[in-house]
Amino acid sequence: MSGGTVWFVGAGPGDPELITVKGRALIERAGAILFAGSLVSEAAMRWAPAGCVIADSKDMTLEQMSAWLIIQAGRCQTVVRLQTGDPGLYGALIELVQPLDAAGVPIAVVPGVSSAMASAATAVESLTLPEVTQTVIFTRVEGRTPMPEGESLEALAAHHSTLCIFLSITLMGRVAAALTAAGWSPDAPVVVVHKASWPGEEKIIRGTVATIQGLCRDAKIVSQSMVIASPTLGARHWQTLAKSKLYDASFTHKFRRASTGLTTSTSQNLPETT
């Protein structure tokens, strides 16, 4: 099949201005756009050119979406499938790509800002901290989609690292139970961010393993929310904090010599990591 390319573009978490420059440029020259209307702000369509065919996929099946993309790729050079967040994270990317591959339609993917990153930014939290945790786990609670063996929330929570829990706001009882079973204290902090980055719509709920379910219920938070449980939460207000070694004045690396009079690292090529 000859024709256009279907671009799977991450629209980001909600704020239209958080789309990447490349993603916006594709919208500006698109001949057709299929956007996830239940999750992606229609404001992102303001950059579409006159004459662009725009369709909302919220009432389509996967088969209907694939068929629409194939048809549009036959009539224009640039077709955009605009997905929330990042296309490769809890998006039906591969399910949509396979029919396009079978039809000989070229595809490409443009990453987007995940709601996990946007939620941490909204709450002014860091997902990693030196000597606290250096690991972030993206996961969800089992619902209609079963979890693979070994990936229950309880098993993952046993690492006591940062958990970004997607698609689980209506299952907060299970979240709290899994954290408790994994040894998290009832007082361990949890933050829920609803519609992170959506102008005028985002909400931040701060609580603990023991209280977060009730707080979300009281706030009537039942959709489009990121749950973050992490030993790093609240670090902005800690009196003591382990600092990054990369920026320590006593460390020498390939871009900076240690300050005179301070103990220097023997490494001359320290990786740019914390």
Here the CATH number for the domain that contains residue 93 is: 3.40.1010.10
Alpha-carbon distance 176 to 25, whole Å? Answer: 42
Residue 41 has pLDDT above 80, yes or no: no
**Does residue 249 lie in a domain region?**
no
Do 29 and 55 share a domain, yes or no?
yes
Do 161 and 211 share a domain, yes or no?
yes
Do 130 and 233 share a domain, yes or no?
yes
Do 35 and 94 share a domain, yes or no?
yes
Domain tally, the chain: 2
Do 128 and 107 share a domain, yes or no?
no
Asked which of 97, 113, 129 is the last residue of a domain, the reply is 113
Asked which of 62, 79, 113 is the last residue of a domain, the reply is 113
Expressed as residue numbers, the domain containing 128 is 117-237
147 CB-near residues (< 8 Å, 6+ apart): 140, 153
**Does residue 257 lie in a domain region?**
no
Do 101 and 122 share a domain, yes or no?
no
pLDDT tens digits, one per residue of 219-255: 999 999 999 999 999 999 999 988 776 666 666 666 6
Whether residue 128 contacts residue 199, with contact meaning beta carbons closer than 8 Å, is answered with: no
Which whole-number Å values give the CA distances from 13 to 39, 93, 136, 201, 222, in the listed order? 9, 17, 18, 12, 17
Residue 273 has pLDDT above 60, yes or no: no
Residue 267 has pLDDT above 60, yes or no: no
pLDDT tens digits, one per residue of 67-89: 999 999 999 999 999 999 999 99
Do 107 and 143 share a domain, yes or no?
no
Asked which of 113, 129, 162 is the last residue of a domain, the reply is 113
**Does residue 80 lie in a domain region?**
yes
Which whole-number Å values give the CA distances from 213 to 97, 176, 187, 221, in the listed order? 37, 8, 13, 10
